[in-house]
Structure 1
Amino acid sequence: MDFETAVEWAETLKTRKRKLDDYQETILDWLKEHPDLSASQISDWLEERCGYREIGESTVRTYIKELREKYHIPKALNKRHFEAL
């Protein structure tokens, strides 16, 4: 591949549609309502609530990380209060 072809190909990567783009609004609503959700939980919810099973865990993790950065939704850490009985 020559340089110009490589540049054109790299530009198409910036605008291509991602697998989870169709669910972006739903995921954003979940993250705003429950900022402590993990990517694994969101993956489970996509499976249970939306019937979407065609995606790997690492893809969901990356997508969630990018959404949190883009929309400034920090991961809230809820510490569990418990004691040994």
Structure 2
Amino acid sequence: MARRNAGRLRNRQHAAAACGGSTFESPVLTAITIVASIVVVTRTDFRVYFAATQFINFLLGPATVALAIPAGAERPAR
């Protein structure tokens, strides 16, 4: 268990280093902040936002799996 946690810590440190050491430089956090700000400023109703983004949500599932398969193939066997 400790070995697994050490690996997770190294991954987090690597991710933080890739973002320049700042959590706020993460592309995911930045995108969420920008989209949320636009939705709030334009006072977009959730139903309208959800209807407009259904197609993107539909495509994200297969894209996530398509990216995960090669990443899993490169993972060393235990």
Give the structure-2-normalised TM-score. Answer: 0.28
Q: Which has the higher contact order (CA 8 A, sep 6+)?
A: 1
Higher helix share: 2
